[in-house]
Chains A and B, each alone.
Chain A
Amino acid sequence: MAAGGAGVGNKTYSFKVVLLGEGCVGKTSLVLRYCENKFNDKHITTLQASFLTKKLNIGGKRVNLAIWDTAGQERFHALGPIYYRDSNGAILVYDITDEDSFQKVKNWVKELRKMLGNEICLCIIIGNKIDLEKERHVSVQDAEGYAESVGAKHYHTSAKLNKGIEELFLDLCKRMIETAQADERAKGNGSSQSGTGRRGVQIVDDEPPNAAAAGGGCCSSG
């Protein structure tokens, strides 16, 4: 069923993607641009911008994408695991003009690894607001180098100018489909892969489940 967004044949894939990142980096703007093609628009018709969905057709495969906005304020940071459990993908956003927000992304990567271990979802790192290139405080080299070192894809976007957004979601969806198909094949083989089905968080407190397992990188970049 919809669990894990796995699908058979012509079935529709359902994916859950969470947006993580400091406040004001542009998470809400990115998703409103993607789903409504609006930016800072007073005439937005949707009642809310915290849970948005988009239907896609990728090479004949139907995808229902659910995008979960998260509260970015520091005092809500500890709630992260409740949001990202059972997600198929995570989009980690920073603002290229804000060094601190990039540091926050690094913290998120560490936390996801620690909390999810082997079961880590696909994650993508986004440097937003490239229309403010002259105020850039995070160098392209640093950002892309870091992403590569943890096995994550990196994208540059501008919600304001609608740059890079379609591409990043399309790429994420393609990779989530691949992961789902791989899960399914493993399931079909009857191999005792007890882990694959139960993605999500297995622990309550701060102790990492199997921190050593994080060696493979943040994302199983497939």
Chain B
Amino acid sequence: MSQKSERRGIHVDQSELLCKKGCGYYGNPAWQGFCSKCWREEYQRARQKQIQEDWALAERNKLFHCNSSCSVSVSRVRLQREEEAAYASSQGAQSQPSLAPFSKFEEKKSNEKTRKVTTVKKFFSPSSRTASKKESQETKTPSPSISRQASMETDRVSRDFIDFLKGLQKPGREIHKQCRAFVESMGNKKDLSAEELSECVQDFYQNMADRLLSHFKGSTERVERVMDQVEKYLMTRLYKNVFCPETTDDEKKDLAVQKRIRALHWVTIQMLCVPVNEDIPEVSDNVVKAITDVIEMDSKRVPRDKLACITRCSKHIFNAIKITKSEPASADDFLPTLIYIVLKANPPRLQSNIQYITRFCNPSRLMTGEDGYYFTNLCCAVAFIEKLDAQSLNLSPEDFERYMSGQASPRRQEPEAWPPPAGGSPALAQVYQSLELLSGLGARQERVLEGARRLEGDLIDWRAGVEREVQDILDRHPLDLRLPPASAIDSDNVENDRLPPPLQPQVFAG
């Protein structure tokens, strides 16, 4: 299978995912494709420059009134002005009732939290606060020169957010104000642990959702719609500071999982009892798509966008199962297949992504929704892979050891292994269907080859034609080099220094 999927081409080049410095770690789009270590080095250099630039800007604007982490606040002030300007146009039409409870927003006590998401992460991060705090003191504020692309995305998201909120009239303005203030306050919380950062964000979601719920008179759908936008706005901004933060060992865990999955490369579809027959082209198409989806998760910044990748991946898995078994997938079908997909994909920074979603996703999405179900299964798949032993694959401990150490590899199962001996027509029908598809593919390949041959001929003809034309033109217009008019001898000083020195007038003394 592995050869097959390579041939079919998952268009994600591993090298694109690795750190640009070539140190072997995974790179991170938020770190300009560097790993955290190389990013810090790179960043130190850029930071000096940036501090100078910000100083200059601040001096000019007379806004420089704090003596530390000013680089952050200066760029924020600029942003704030831009956003305010964007809002100014909508201010005229504000006869709508205001969102009254928002004025007391900050007073909301957090002791009535009904948030549950924090419990989830306990499964995956018994000790996420191991790295020294000192290391994280420096801000990760990217320099303007190396984060233009990221900031362009941030700006676009801000504009979209404002456009969305304008539709809500006055409450929209209030929401925007709260969100912006919150992003700013998070800028001052750099030395908090990941868990504490998560608490802050989750508290904010909770308070915001509660206010919205009373404003929209209990319409959860409308609340959800706004909360999705709030999450998008907040997390696009906070991403680079809270994804795989240096206060955690997320990165170390990523590498551990990555290594583990690599060591399990020999696990076959049969060992996991995956109900998917990749010999059916449509099925293997879906398998490849599922692999691509789960890899793509790492490239998204908003938790919900990451979740959407997992959901797309799951849907492709369901397709593959349904085509193979012609019945809807149950959890017994789905989980092994997802495990198989994760093993094949070895998605970059899997733990960091799971942690990030757990910490910063809107909890209602994670708790009861469909996306939450698929995410939970992904968590299960990772937990299974981490703990997997001989028994979980129905192997003898000896075989397991031999495969793990690379001393032996399991014999590739004969294709007869699938379909299972059902002894009925459905299996046979499937075989015939596959054969038909195969012969169809053969014919298509013939056509493609035929086309290629024709194209080759055309190219040869075309080349000959062009040559003929050029020759024609050359014949009609024979080469006629007109030399430029002669100019002063020393107009260009070619090899001037080789000339003998000019004669100097000599004075003869009487």
Contact = CB atoms under 8 A, between A and B. Distances in A.
A15 B210 contact: no
A95 interface: no
Interface stretch (B16-24, B322-330, B458-466): B322-330
Nearest to A3: B114
Contact of B122 (A53, A190, A203): A203
A197 B213 contact: no
Interface in B412-449: none
Contacts of B334: 48, 50, 71
A173 B372 CA distance: 20
**Chain B binding surface SS class:** helix
A1 B112 contact: no
Interface residues of A, number: 59
Among A23, A28, A48, which residue has the most Cβ atoms of chain B within 10 A?
A48
A153 B293 CA distance: 42
A125 interface: no
Contacts of B384: 75-76, 79
A46 B328 contact: yes
A181 interface: no
Given A44-B328, A47-B315, A48-B318, A82 B367 contact: no
Contacts of B321: 48
A173 B120 CA distance: 24
Given A14-B367, A72-B332, A198-B119, 15 more contacts: A2-B220, A4-B114, A11-B213, A15-B368, A44-B327, A49-B329, A50-B333, A50-B334, A68-B373, A68-B376, A72-B331, A73-B332, A85-B120, A200-B119, A200-B120
B119 A1 contact: no
Interface residues of B, number: 53
B391 A197 contact: no
Contact of B335 (A27, A66, A76): A76
A136 interface: no
B92 interface: no
A71 B119 contact: no
B380 interface: yes
B206 interface: yes
B329 A3 contact: no
Interface string A50-75: 11010000000000101011111101
Interface in B361-420: 363-364, 367-370, 373-374, 376, 379-380, 383-384, 387, 391-392
A5 B315 CA distance: 26
A50 B376 CA distance: 12
Contact of A47 (B120, B319, B332, B376): B319
A79 B117 CA distance: 18
B387 A6 contact: no
A38 to B, nearest CB: 10
A77 to B, nearest CB: 10
Given A28-B330, A49-B328, A69-B331, A198 B368 contact: no
B149 interface: no
A81 B114 CA distance: 20
B332 A71 contact: yes
Among B114, B223, B319, B329, which residue has the most Cβ atoms of chain A within 10 A?
B114
B118 interface: yes
Nearest to B366: A86
A1 B218 contact: no
A91 to B, nearest CB: 13
Contacts of A42: 326-327
Interface in B295-327: 315, 318-319, 321-322, 326-327
Given A1-B209, A12-B220, A49 B379 contact: no
Interface in B111-170: 111-120, 122-123, 126
A66 B368 CA distance: 6
A50 B373 contact: yes
Nearest to B333: A50
B336 interface: yes
B380 A79 contact: yes
Contact of A86 (B119, B220, B328, B370): B119
A41 B113 CA distance: 44
A176 to B, nearest CB: 12
A129 B376 CA distance: 29
B277 to A, nearest CB: 17
A28 B325 CA distance: 15
B123 A82 contact: yes
Contact of A48 (B111, B118, B328, B392): B328
Nearest to B273: A73
